Structures are given as structure tokens and as C-alpha cells.
Amino acid sequence: MAKALFAIFGNPVSHSKSPLMHNLAFKGLEYDGCYARYRLEDGSKLKEKFFELGLKGINITVPHKEYAYAACDELDPFAKKVGAVNTIVEKNGKLHGYNTDAPGFLKAISEFKEIKTVLFLGAGGTAQSTSVILKEEGYDVTLLNRSEGRLTKFKEAGFKTFTFDDFQPKHYDLIINMTSAGLEDDALPAPKEILEKVMPSSKACVDVIYGKETAFLKLARAYNKPVKDGSDMLLYQGIIAFEYFTENQYAFKTIKIHMQKAFTL
């Protein structure tokens, strides 16, 4: 059988860790696969490029997760519900789509015990899929966003939503930075006065940004809160995608042993 080819599609993709993660797992598990990166400028060409490159599976990152959803012939029920696909596998000429960001995130926060109420800072694409899975798991999720626009669909889906102007602080067990504030700068995801009202009584704080200590995490540390960045979310979404790529031939724990080396190199 020919080597199975995989890739990450996005724009930009140059700094993605996915090729390293998946290639370490292929090597460690002696699976005859290879994972590359492909900068896709026009998301509407996703399906065409997939077949042109002779791929078996892809991950999709910003800004093409909605195009990926539209390109699929078959959708996993959860991906269908949230309208975003970050993993596609080809089976008998058909593209099957999954969302592994949300279950990866759920697993990443499961180390924090006795969490019931969660405050999301941000209401973008990542908040969309992760809020749905948390709600399904019985968490009580509130969203606080800088501007009103993106909150509408969350409000319609039954979530409590606030902007900085109408927020009424109360106790939240877990506070999560779901924004890109702090990614390229030292910005906080919400005004400091708001964070200073909710952080002291929280049990833990999480950032989806990985590979750096953001201003948000620094502030949480100053309150002696347990913190974690987005590395485990990234690792776990990759492991779950790998399970789909290799049709569940390997256990989660076994894949993890190899894939997590990407975070120590």
C-alpha cells in the first residue's frame, strides 16, 4: 500500500505544530504516513486541492473551518451541530468531517475538578464549538465579549451573554480566555477591573493560546490560581484527529506518548 498522505490546510500555516505532532506519532507507531502543511488561499478550493494532492486526511485551521464544513459529503453529528470541521478523512472517495477541537478542549479542562460554572471571555469560532460541548456535558456557560455582534447566536442558543458594558460580575468556577487577545501582544481579553472582580473567587483560569504566558495567565498567577495554556487542547485535538486518520487502530494513551514529544522539542 502507498504511503498515506495527510496535511494541514490554513492561511497562514507556517507556524503550525500539527506536522511535527502527527509525524512523530507516525514514526513512533511505525505507521506508513506523512503529514505536510499546505497554505490554502481560497477556501472554496479545499475539496479540489484535497484530491489533487492525493490526500487521505487533513486538519483545517483558520480561516477555513466553515469551508471545510461545506466541503464534506458526510458529517459527524457533533460537527454538524456546531457548523465547524477541523478534521477530514477520505473514505471510498467521500469526505467525512469531524470536529476534534471541542472534545480536545473538554479533555484539557477535565483535570480541574468540581467545576460547574464557566465564564468564556470571547465569542468567536473556538467559543462556538467548545460552548456547545460544555453545555452538553452539563456545565453552566456564560459568555462575555467585547462587542455585541458575535453574542447574538449564543443568546439565541440559550447561553447567558454579556458585553463589558452590561456585565454583572458573580462567582465563576473556571474562567477561560477564548479570544486572540494576548496572541500577538500583551492585551488582556477584558478590562482589568472586570477580571479583578471575577478572578479572586474562581477555582482556575485557562487560556486557549499556547506556547506563551499571556497577560491573562500572568494576572491569574498573581491571584495564585491554578492555570493552564492551550497546549493540551492542541495536543488532544491532534490525538483525536489521529484516531480518525488511522481508523482507531491505536489507543489514545499510546498516540499521546509519541505526539506529546512535539511539545518538548
Residues from 41 through 80 that contact ligand NDP (CB under 6 A): 62
- What would the grid cell of residue 13 be? 500555516
- Cβ nearer to ligand NDP, comparing 4 with 67: 67
- Cβ nearer to ligand NDP, comparing 68 with 178: 178
Amino acid at 31: Y
Quick one: which of 61, 55, 67 has its CA closest to 100?
61
Is residue 150 involved in binding ligand NDP (CB under 6 A)? yes
Of the ranges 50-58, 110-118, 202-210, 247-255, which one interacts with ligand NDP (CB under 6 A)?
Answer: 202-210
- Cβ nearer to ligand NDP, comparing 4 with 59: 59
Distances (CA, A) of 130 to 13, 47, 102, 167: 22, 26, 5, 21
Q: At what angle do helices 252-259 and 18-28 cross, to 10 degrees?
A: 120
**Count residues contacting ligand NDP (CB under 6 A)?**
26
Q: Cα 209 vs. chain centroid, distance in angstroms?
A: 10
Is residue 10 involved in binding ligand NDP (CB under 6 A)? no
Spatial separation of the C-alpha atoms in residues 228 and 238, rounded to whole Å = 18
- Cβ nearer to ligand NDP, comparing 4 with 216: 216
Is residue 145 involved in binding ligand NDP (CB under 6 A)? yes
Residues from 177 through 196 that contact ligand NDP (CB under 6 A): 178-181, 183, 187, 189
Q: Is 65 considered catalytic here?
A: yes
Is residue 123 involved in binding ligand NDP (CB under 6 A)? yes
Query: DSSP label at 150?
Result: G
8 A C-beta contact, residue 126 and residue 102: no
Min CB(93)–ligand NDP separation in Å: 29
Spatial separation of the C-alpha atoms in residues 235 and 221, rounded to whole Å = 23
Helix, strand or coil, per DSSP, at residue 107: helix
- Cβ nearer to ligand NDP, comparing 73 with 244: 244
Of 65, 91, 197, 203, the catalytic one is 65
8 A C-beta contact, residue 78 and residue 134: no
Catalytic residues: 65
Binding site for ligand NDP (CB under 6 A): 62, 101, 122-127, 145-147, 150, 178-181, 183, 187, 189, 208-210, 230, 233-234, 237
